[in-house]
Amino acid sequence: MNCRSCNTKVNHQILDLGFSPPSNSFLTLEQLSQPEIYFPLRMMFCEHCFLVQIDEFAKHEDIFNHEYHYFSSYSNSWLKHAKDYTEMMIQRFNLNGQHQVIEIASNDGYLLQYFKKKNIPVLGIEPTSNTAQISQNKGIETLVEFFGFKLAKDLVDKNIKADVLLGNNVLAHVPDINDFVSGMKLLLKKDGVITMEFPHLLQLVKNIQFDTIYHEHYSYLSCIAVQELFHRHDLELFDVEELDTHGGSLRIFVKHISDQTKKVSSFVTYILEKEQTYGLNNLKFYNNFQNKVDVVKNNFLDFLLKAAKEQKKVVAYGAAAKGNTFLNYCGVRKDLIQFIIDASPYKQNKFIPGAHIPVYSETLLKETKPDFILILPWNLKSEISTQLSYVGDWDCKFVVAVPELVIF
């Protein structure tokens, strides 16, 4: 494969998670008797621009469609994160009703709703029609489109440009990353600001967060790789923040290189030097990643097999994409985890891809009284364990498997 950023031949594999179906392709009971498509899931390293990536075996138009099952508003902590971001941006950049905010991958309006409440004009761009419909129902204008240079040009031709152009956890989802960034360059006003958030590759590797590797994440991003990508399109990082979200993320602030109104923060240099010190631009940094991943898998399977021998009932909470990746790589089926609880009605009474474990509502916990609840979205373990604290009434324990097995 060629690197999706610099187009250089990529030869170095750093992780092989075998074969799995797209992680958000939930199945109905009827679909269980139909063929299911599996794709290779291999992580590759580009020695030229240092982008870590997987190949586009699963096409993005097949993943991000009307049956997409991720709705951002079902996480209270994520809603708070979005609201806090809105307040920070309004204060930092003095935003008001004369400014245009555009969000790429706006999902169900989880974030733009807070700008709208402040009477700041908003526009959402979201390719999945089911989530976009929820956003539109909130009164948020939303285009059901994939973003790229063509859509940016169509908007500019209609005299629509962005003072704030944002994308949370979208850059990793883009197969043609240069077309995407060139569209952002075109759509951004001359003194406008781009902000993007993405899981930080440094934390992914350090903390063995391999379950965040799945087919809708085409790229795994570092500040080093992203800086080179944006520079290629005459855009410049002028600030970076480290966030706790998704196990450790970066929020980057980007401007036109020609924009002299914004000073480049020293924190950009700090993050770049931190990544270089760890060696994210060197293949050696990734050498032992596969072995560490397999240790996590084997320790988790030891726990499940021990629980099964002792006739303990294990269920899971959170039918998130990361959990589906994790269970499929571990080869777990419903003989070891009986069912998964999820708050989203769009996932309930369906089956996760690959493992075919059923997904139900929380009411089933009190009826079945399991001995262990595996928290699959480990980044939300505090929120979830607090929400489910009542399970202690029957001495149920929580389990987290990544980055190491913890029972509490």
CATH code of the domain containing 390: 3.40.50.720
Residues 87 and 234 in one domain: yes
Domain assignment of residue 173, yes or no: yes
Could you tell me the residue range of the domain that residue 137 belongs to? 63-286
Residues 213 and 135 in one domain: yes
Phi and psi at residue 355, in whole multiples of 5°? -75, -25
Confidence class for position 263, pLDDT limits 50, 70, 90:
very high
Per-residue pLDDT, 115: 98
pLDDT, tens only, 383-404: 999 999 999 999 999 999 999 9
Q: Sign of the CA dihedral 176, 44, 318, 392?
A: negative
The helix/strand/coil state of 210 is helix
> Chain-wide mean pLDDT for the chain?
95
**Single residue among 259, 286, 313 that ends a domain in this structure:** 286
Residues 275 and 360 in one domain: no
- Are the beta carbons of 102 and 126 closer than 8 angstroms? no
pLDDT, tens only, 66-99: 556 567 777 888 899 999 999 999 999 999 999 9
Q: How far apart are CA 104 and CA 92, in angstroms?
A: 21
Long-range pairs for 85-89: beta carbons < 8 A, 24 or more residues apart: 85/111, 85/195, 86/111, 86/114, 86/115, 86/118, 87/114, 89/164, 89/195
Domain assignment of residue 92, yes or no: yes
Domain assignment of residue 160, yes or no: yes
Q: How far apart are CA 45 and CA 281, in angstroms?
A: 9
Statement: residue 57 has pLDDT above 60: yes
Q: How many domains does the chain have?
A: 2
Q: How far apart are CA 349 and CA 365, in angstroms?
A: 15
User: What is the CATH number for 130?
Assistant: 3.40.50.150
Residues 256 and 323 in one domain: no
Residues 171 and 105 in one domain: yes
Residues 359 and 230 in one domain: no
pLDDT, tens only, 134-190: 999 999 999 999 999 999 999 999 999 999 999 999 999 999 999 999 999 999 999
